[in-house]
Amino acid sequence: MCPIKEVSDIRRMPRLGKVRLGIKVEPEGKNPYPRATDYFVVPDEIKEYVGTMPKKLSVMFPTEKTDEFAQQWLRCYSFTQGLICKGDGSTAIRKIDVETGDVARHTTQEWVFKDWGCDPDTCEQYSEKQCRRVMNLLFFLPDVPGLGVWQLDTTSFYSIVNVNSCVDLIKRLCGRISFIPLTLSLEPQIVEPPGIKKKTVHILQIRSDVKLAAIQKLGRVAPEVIMLPALEEEEAPADLFPAEAEPQAGKAPAEPREEKTPDDIAEDDVPDMDTVVRFCFHFWQMKGRIL
């Protein structure tokens, strides 16, 4: 029997569930609202494997394609319509009310997706914080039973930069990122957004307890090519909190006061000694010693 074109040749990995960065608070007589936590909020069925309120998770990324396991978009959500707009800062796909020609709302009866412009500086939804940057992170939990990936969503500028920087650093040093044992952690950092006093927020970090030589050895083994499942996009991220200020346009946000992810690594494929020292300090807090 011949395979069905564009059906029989497709392989997808199942999505097992979500790990969240906050909880929903439902005060009596008031609208529910999200509240950030300093630990990962995990489903009850995996608490016996990772802990009740874990601050660290053993993870592996399932592919080399960052745009597949760490998608990043500007996303706009509504209570009644779910995801109503997704853009990159220039162009977007927007859910439009067929009758009014405006963005779909709670009164919308019929809608279609249309290509749209995306300009955060002039967007009404972005200025009202209804639209936010979102990273959807997909990963394995090797300590948890089940074949598939887990999804974590974050809107934090600092978490997104940390994840991107660490992934690039590991790729540069090891030649790959997939199926390498890593630790995803939530760690407190003091930040000072423009116009706002200093505060402590909990930010995603990628760490490793594996020696550099062992990681580089793992990097020589080529992983299988696997398609990831479709993202759960309709549900707004659990950490969609207005408390974290948006960095001002044209002005770099204040750096965290504590550990910083190196962002000035050389472009060479083979790391020099300075790069290795930076890597060792970032992941294992190892400091050089003069002999």
Dig out the tokens for 254 from the structure.
Answer: 């204040």
* Single-letter amino acid code for the residue at 69: F
Assess if residue 13 is contained within a domain. no
Cα distance between residue 144 and residue 46, in whole Å: 7
Q: Which residue has the tokens 């097992």?
A: 16
3-state secondary structure at position 108: coil
Assess if residue 9 is contained within a domain. no
What's the mean per-residue pLDDT of the chain? 80
Contact 141, 59 (CB under 8 A): yes
pLDDT digits (tens, 9 = 90+) for 96-152: 999 898 888 888 889 999 999 999 999 988 988 889 999 999 999 999 999 899 999
* Residue 252 main-chain phi, psi, to 5 deg: -65, 135
Q: Which residue has the tokens 């505060």?
A: 199
* Residue 260 main-chain phi, psi, to 5 deg: -120, 140
Higher model confidence: residue 123 or residue 213?
123
Assess if residue 17 is contained within a domain. no
Assess if residue 24 is contained within a domain. no
Q: What is the mean pLDDT of residues 79-108?
A: 90
Dig out the tokens for 189 from the structure.
Answer: 């950092």
> Given a cut of 80, is residue 282 above it in pLDDT?
no
pLDDT digits (tens, 9 = 90+) for 30-48: 877 788 899 999 999 999 9
Domain that holds residue 262: 44-72+136-284
**What number of H helices and E strands is found in the chain?**
6, 11
> Given a cut of 50, is residue 260 above it in pLDDT?
no
The reported pLDDT for the residue numbered 21 is 93
Contact 35, 41 (CB under 8 A): no
Assess if residue 98 is contained within a domain. no
Cα distance between residue 38 and residue 271, in whole Å: 34
Q: Which residue has the tokens 């790391």?
A: 271
pLDDT digits (tens, 9 = 90+) for 160-175: 999 999 999 988 888 8
pLDDT digits (tens, 9 = 90+) for 200-212: 899 999 998 877 7
Judged by average pLDDT, the poorest of 36-40, 73-77, 233-237, 247-251 is 247-251
Judged by average pLDDT, the poorest of 55-69, 157-171, 209-223, 240-254 is 240-254
Assess if residue 37 is contained within a domain. no
| Tally of structural domains, the chain | 1
Q: ∠ CA 271-69-148 to the nearest 5 degrees?
A: 120
Cα distance between residue 202 and residue 188, in whole Å: 4
Higher model confidence: residue 193 or residue 223?
193
> Given a cut of 50, is residue 158 above it in pLDDT?
yes
Please, what's the largest Cα pairwise distance for the chain? 75
Cα distance between residue 191 and residue 66, in whole Å: 26
Assess if residue 289 is contained within a domain. no
Cα distance between residue 13 and residue 229, in whole Å: 5
Assess if residue 18 is contained within a domain. no
Cα distance between residue 88 and residue 74, in whole Å: 6
The reported pLDDT for the residue numbered 8 is 81
